[in-house]
Amino acid sequence: MVVANQKGGVGKTTTAVNIAAGLAQGGLKVMVIDIDPQGNASTALGVEHSEGTVGTYEVLVDQHPLIDALARCPDLPGVWVLPATIDLAGAEIGLVATVSRETRLKTALDGFFDHYYVDYVIIDCPPSLGLLTLNALVAAHEIMIPIQCEYYALEGVTQLLKTINLVKGRLNDTLVLSTVLLTMYDGRTNLSAQVADEVRKHFERETLRTVIPRSVRVAEAPSYGQTVVTYQLNSVGAQAYVSAAQEIAERGATGF
Ligand code: ADP
Ligand code: MG
């Protein structure tokens, strides 16, 4: 499942790591692939990602075996992370001249699944629709879009939908937009409620019942190298992510 939205700051990374944590809490095995050179998902999951650490760059550009590049998340048994270092910023350029540049991640995952099993792969995308995001869209079956309950919430989603359709037609027939998650919901404002209504109208089947509230605990967890699920499981934010993960698991592989 790829977590995408080319708008920055909508909660992609927070969603990717906390849904992974929620699924792992339910006993599932999860691989998180960080394909954002900022490496925020790697930070939140507490794995080493200093410059030179073997990670996504090596797997995509050097075709390094995925299994050797995975790091165990220290706080979450069942979660494995392909870390992103700043080196990944050069990957778009590094890949441009290579053969099968859009299918590198898919090939790496296919090789991995010949020998190993995980229940979910969650890919955290950068805020752009470049070659890194394209690799994610080619490798995945499902897309999850986090939408922030703010003005212009749907801005950019149309462009993402066009890209999804292009990829679907040419590079990956199995791709579906399965899940929309409302994030940073502020129950005190009418705006959040209005945005949530509008999104539910557009994405009636896709939108999860669970809504992620705006919460200080969610925002501060990464500074402890943790997900909010491991940092404060009893907080409203952690509980919301656990329940969103449950909904996803209940929907199953088809997404509905
Ligand atoms: P993206 O990956 O889309 O750029 P992030 O997940 O990094 O977005 O979130 C952007 C910022 O908003 C981060 O500082 C994050 O901690 C904060 N944030 C995300 N979700 C919440 C939430 N539910 N409540 C409060 N802050 C949040
Ligand atoms: Mg991010």
Q: Which of 13, 14, 144, 192 to mutate to test the pocket of ligand 1 (most atoms within 8 A of CB)?
A: 14
Per-residue pLDDT of 174-214, as tens digits, reads 999 999 999 999 999 999 999 999 999 999 999 999 999 99
Q: Which pLDDT value is given to residue 100?
A: 87
Residue nearest atom 14 in ligand 1 by C-alpha distance = 219
Domain that holds residue 72: 2-251
How many folded domains does the chain comprise? 1
Which pair of structure tokens corresponds to residue 217? 């605990």
Residue 193, domain CATH: 3.40.50.300
| Nearest residue to 247 (alpha-carbon basis) of 238, 237, 256 | 256
Alpha helical stretches, state H, the chain: 12-25, 40-44, 56-61, 66-69, 91-96, 104-113, 131-139, 157-170, 190-202, 216-220, 228-231, 236-251
How confident is residue 253, by pLDDT bands cut at 50, 70 and 90?
low
Say if 148 falls within a structural domain. yes
Which residue's structure tokens are 């897309």?
143
Q: Is the CB of 227 under 6 A from ligand 1?
A: no
Say if 256 falls within a structural domain. no
> For residue 6, which ligand has an atom nearest its CA?
1
How confident is residue 155, by pLDDT bands cut at 50, 70 and 90?
confident
Per-residue pLDDT of 6-37, as tens digits, reads 888 999 999 999 999 999 999 999 999 999 99
Q: Is the CB of 43 under 6 A from ligand 1?
A: no
Say if 170 falls within a structural domain. yes
Q: Which pLDDT value is given to residue 256?
A: 42
Say if 104 falls within a structural domain. yes
Please, which residues bridge with residue 124 across strands? 3, 34
Say if 242 falls within a structural domain. yes
Residues with CB under 5 A from ligand 2 (ion): 12-13, 40
How confident is residue 172, by pLDDT bands cut at 50, 70 and 90?
very high
* Mean pLDDT of all residues belonging to the chain: 93
pLDDT(111) > 50: yes
Q: Which pLDDT value is given to residue 103?
A: 94
Euclidean distance between CA atoms 205 and 135, whole angstroms: 26
Say if 235 falls within a structural domain. yes
Mean pLDDT of 204-228: 96
